């Protein structure tokens, strides 16, 4: 009899870099969850199907509270892929794994008063731009953490645009826009017809109920100055 050797199976490994959102619970946890609920009311699908990490360095929490926190987040459709700086008591086969070595993307720190000016001119970061030549329908979410997003069309109510850089909407903006999520303090939002549910740059946001009625339907520029969003009419 002739023996036939089975062909060797190949096993391919790949490394892939992903943008993950980091949530940092604070005490009292009930108040933190209430603040999270207020955000989710304005942007209900923001964390859906996205990798989320819990940063636990700033909070002491028992295993029972931790279990309850994970359950509360799961009920809000937030699945935790891992935790950073968790105590050993929160580590186990049934809990999210420990993640280390992640690189935080933040805006550059302001120079201290009296510090010497930099010896080199500031480097201009090159980013990739995403252009969407169509309307963005309700329920759609466009995420591009690597640069600017340009929408040549309408962003419907219930739609969401998330960009690492600036966002340009050449049409009616009725949905939600989050710009500068990769730490760019100079990110801006532009639209030709402002009717937005939420505008956010660098974590600072304004909702429709807090916008002046005089801005509705106008061509608008939004920029971040300090801890405040500045909205300017362009026409």
Per-residue 3-state assignment (H helix, E strand, C coil) for the chain: CCCCCCCCCCCCCCCCCCCCEEECCCCCHHHHHHHHHHHHHHCCCCCCCCCEEEECCCCCCCHHHHHHHHHHHHHCCCCEEEEECCCHHHCCCCCCCECCCCCCCCCCCCCCCCCCCCCCCCCCCCCCCEEECCCECCCCEEEECCCCEEECCCECCCCEEEECCCEEEEEEECCEEEECCCCCCCCEEEEEEECCCEEEECCEEEEHHHCCHHHCCCCEEEEEECCEEEEEECC
Q: Which fold has domain 130-233?
A: Pectate Lyase C-like (2.160.20)
Ordered per-residue pLDDT tens for the chain, 235 residues: 566 666 666 676 666 666 778 889 999 999 999 988 887 887 777 777 778 899 988 888 998 999 999 999 999 889 899 899 888 888 887 888 888 766 555 433 333 334 344 434 334 344 589 999 999 999 888 989 889 999 999 999 989 999 999 999 999 999 999 999 878 789 999 999 999 999 999 888 888 888 888 999 999 999 999 888 999 999 7
Per-residue model confidence (pLDDT) at position 43: 73
Residue carrying structure tokens 């500068």: 180
Q: Check if the beta carbon of residue 220 is closer than 8 Å to that of residue 194.
A: yes
CATH 2.160.20.70 domain locations along the chain = 130-233
Per-residue model confidence (pLDDT) at position 172: 96
CATH number of 21-90: 3.30.70.260
Tell me how far the alpha carbon of residue 196 is from its chain's centroid: 18
Per-residue model confidence (pLDDT) at position 217: 93
CATH 3.30.70.260 domain locations along the chain = 21-90
Q: Which residues pair with 68 in a beta bridge?
A: none
Per-residue model confidence (pLDDT) at position 17: 63
Q: Identify which of 198, 206, 134 has the alpha carbon closest to the alpha carbon of residue 171.
A: 134
Per-residue model confidence (pLDDT) at position 207: 87
């Amino acid at each position: 009899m002739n023996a036939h050797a089975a062909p060797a199976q190949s096993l391919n490994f790949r490394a892939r870099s992903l943008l993950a959102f980091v949530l940092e619970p604070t005490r009292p946890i009930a108040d933190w969850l209430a603040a999270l609920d207020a955000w989710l009311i304005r942007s209900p699908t923001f964390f859906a199907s996205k990798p989320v990490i819990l940063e636990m360095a700033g909070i002491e929490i028992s295993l029972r509270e931790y279990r309850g926190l994970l359950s509360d987040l799961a009920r809000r459709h937030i699945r935790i892929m891992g935790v950073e700086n968790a105590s050993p008591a929160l580590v186990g086969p049934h809990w999210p794994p420990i993640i280390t070595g992640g690189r935080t993307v933040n805006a550059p720190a302001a120079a201290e008063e009296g510090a010497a000016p930099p010896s080199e001119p500031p480097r201009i970061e090159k980013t990739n731009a995403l252009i969407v030549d169509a309307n963005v329908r309700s329920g759609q979410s466009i995420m591009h953490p690597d640069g600017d997003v340009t929408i040549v069309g309408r962003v419907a109510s219930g739609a969401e645009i998330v960009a690492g850089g600036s966002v340009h909407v050449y049409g009616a903006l009725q949905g939600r826009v989050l710009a500068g999520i990769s730490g760019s303090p100079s990110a801006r939002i532009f639209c030709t017809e402002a009717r937005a549910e939420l505008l956010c740059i660098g974590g600072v946001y304004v909702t429709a109920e807090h916008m002046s009625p005089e801005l509705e339907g106008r061509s608008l520029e939004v920029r971040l100055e300090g801890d405040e969003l500045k909205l300017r009419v362009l026409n």
